[in-house]
Structure 1
Amino acid sequence: MNSFASAPHPHSTALPLSRLGMPVEDLYPRLFDAILEQRIDTDSRFTEDSLKDMFNSSRADVRRVLTQLAHEQIVVLRANHRPRVAAPDRELIRQTLHARRLAEITLIRLACQRPRVDDLKCLRTSVEREKRAVEQDRRGAAIRLSGEFHLRLARMAGNVPLANFLGSLVPVTSLAIARSAGQTHSCGAWQEHVALVEAIERGDAAKADSLINRHLDHLEQTLLGSDLEPCVVG
């Protein structure tokens, strides 16, 4: 974000069961959540073997998930070095948020043109899972699921290249949120997501555009500095 056990990660295809009996697809959210909750952080000295033991998985499965997280710029993999958690700097975060705004404004407008019932149901399920994670104080899952909402919305828009582009930006944003002020907490991201779904269902592109801009304003102010109370949005 654990919660992804019921739905595959958006970048993955159907994954086999690991030799230990746990679906490989479950390892990604468990490991990502541990990073977002800073149980594994930039100072952690971990290896494939230590992660294998921590998550009761196979080394091959751990390697596969680490490779995916490296592709998403969450971990850094270098030959003859231990894996480490990435530490996006302020400039990377600024550029990532700028790119997200450009992409999401277009994706929101496209989504409003084709609000299919199944897509809306999927978005509402995503929001409900995010809400439960917040209520259960599962911070890592809440951050991850907030980002997952945006990825599901992007796929709903029907532009695969643009959705894939957003998929390269959201995980970095999630990591930045997790690394922001230690007391950062949710202040209503899932409610904002509910409002977005309602605007999309009505096909109200102007309202959806306003909501996504305000949503991203909160995120930018949280990560790059503002006088507003910190808020987990993603």
Structure 2
Amino acid sequence: MSSSSSTASVSEIRDKLWLAIAERRLKPGTRLKEEELAEIFSSSRARVRQALTLLERDRLVTLIPNRGGFVAEPTIEEARDVFFARRLVEGGLLERLCETATETDLEDLHDHIAQEREAAAEGDLASIVRLSGGFHILIAELAGSAYLHDVLRDLVSRTSLISTMYGPRHQHDCGPDEHAEVVACIARRDAAGALRAMQHHLSHVEDTLDLSGGQLPTRDLRQLLG
């Protein structure tokens, strides 16, 4: 993301912006200036514009005529819809994974939770946020659905926006214990238990939202993406 001689592709720009949103480095309402982003990514404004259009399709960016792009600011109603969608999508993925999970899959899940615990012990906020969302994306990956993987990836990123806007400032993300409970059910092939554990987990995250919360201050793009 620094000023290198290489030219970033549209997908690279999209993915780096997506990650910055998912890790809560880009706050809701942050203005995304094409010219500045083109310089940061050593790319053209046309490519930046294409990347922003892809992110708008995923409802992570809002493009306003004559003003440019902004990181989306989900409403309370949208926040509820996102959690509703996640319950449906992740429930189906868990049912499939409980049937198909291999020993290697379980090792991957346990390794991921170990990384979550390590990040929590070290107080590494960026890793905590990344790994917390990454657990859910890993379930989609292991369940073998490329389409639902992409759907959930965007839902997880939008959840980060929602948590940034409406979540308590002292809480960075859910801990790994609830994730471990889900994995224990997968290991037992207990689809009903895994679903209950995931529903409880998502409800716990949603219940922490402060519905009177507002937008947090934004920061300089170079500081966020450099």
Task: Give the TM-score normalised by structure 1.
Answer: 0.70
Select the residue among 79, 102, 107 that pairs with 1:121. Answer: 107
Q: Which runs of 5+ in 1 are unaligned?
A: 3-17, 226-234
CA deviation after TM superposition for structure 1 residue 78, in Å: 4.0
Cα pair 1:37 1:178 within 8 Å, conserved: no
Is the contact between residue 36 and residue 140 of structure 1 (CA under 8 Å) also seen in structure 2?
no
Q: Does 1:148 align with 2:131?
A: no
Q: Sort the Cα spacing of 1:62 and 1:191 in 2 relative to 1 into closer, same or farther, 3 A.
A: farther
Counterpart residue type for residue 186 of structure 1: D
Contact 1:154 1:163 (C-alpha < 8 Å) held by counterparts: yes
Choose the corresponding residue for 2:196, options 190, 193, 210.
210
**Whole-angstrom distance in 1 between the partners of 2:150 and 2:95:** 17
Deviations 1:132-159 (A, max 9, x none): 5444545355334322221221232234
| Structure possessing the higher radius of gyration over alpha carbons | 2
Structure 1 counterpart of 2:168: 181
What is residue 220 of structure 1 aligned with on the other side? 206
Counterpart code for 1:121: E
Residues 94 and 194 of structure 2 are in contact (CA less than 8 Å); yes or no, is this contact kept in structure 1? yes
* Aligned pairs for 1:18-33 within 5 A: 20=6, 30-33=16-19
Amino acid at match of 2:108: C
Assess, with a 3 A threshold, how the Cα gap between structure 1 residues 121 and 69 changes in structure 2: closer, same or farther. farther
Gaps of 5+ in 2: 212-226
* Partner SS state of residue 31, structure 2: coil
Whether the 8 Å contact between 2:27 and 2:161 is mirrored in structure 1 is: no
Which of residues 99, 103, 116 in structure 1 aligns to 2:89? 103
Q: Which residue of 2 aligns with 1:58?
A: 43
The answer on whether the counterparts of 1:93 and 1:176 sit within 8 Å (CA) in structure 2 is yes
Relative contact order (alpha carbons < 8 A, sep ≥ 6): 1 or 2 greater? 2
**1:50–1:129 distance in 2 versus 1, CA, 3 Å:** farther
- 1:7: which partner in 2? none
| Cα shift readout 1:1-24 (whole Å, capped 9, x = no counterpart) | x9xxxxxxxxxxxxxxx9527798
Query: Does the Cα contact within 8 Å between 2:62 and 2:71 map onto a contact in 1?
Result: yes
Q: CA deviation at 1:217?
A: 1.3
Identity %: 35
1:158-173 correspondence runs (5 A):
158-173=144-159
Q: Which moved more, 1:71-80 or 1:138-147?
A: 138-147
* Matching of residue 91 in structure 1 with residue 77 in structure 2: yes
In structure 2, the CA distance between the partners of 1:191 and 1:69, relative to structure 1 (3 Å rule), is: farther
Question: How many angstroms does 1:72 deviate by?
Answer: 2.3
Structure 2 counterpart of 1:58, one-letter code: S
Structure 1: which amino acid aligns with 2:182?
L
Structure-2 separation of matches of 1:162 and 1:32 = 17
Cα 1:83–1:134 shift into 2, 3 Å: farther
Change (3 A) 1:130 1:53: farther
What do residues 20-39 of structure 1 show as CA deviations (whole Å, max 9, x unaligned)? 27798775565345445655
Q: Let me know the Cα RMSD of the aligned residues.
A: 3.3
Distance verdict in 2 for CA 1:70–1:127, change over 3 Å: farther
How many aligned residue pairs are there? Answer: 207
Which amino acid counterpart does residue 172 of structure 2 have in structure 1?
H
Q: Give, as a single letter, the amino acid of the residue that structure 2 aligns with 1:90.
A: I
1:71 to 57, 72, 76: 57
User: Normalising to structure 2: TM-score of the pair?
Assistant: 0.72
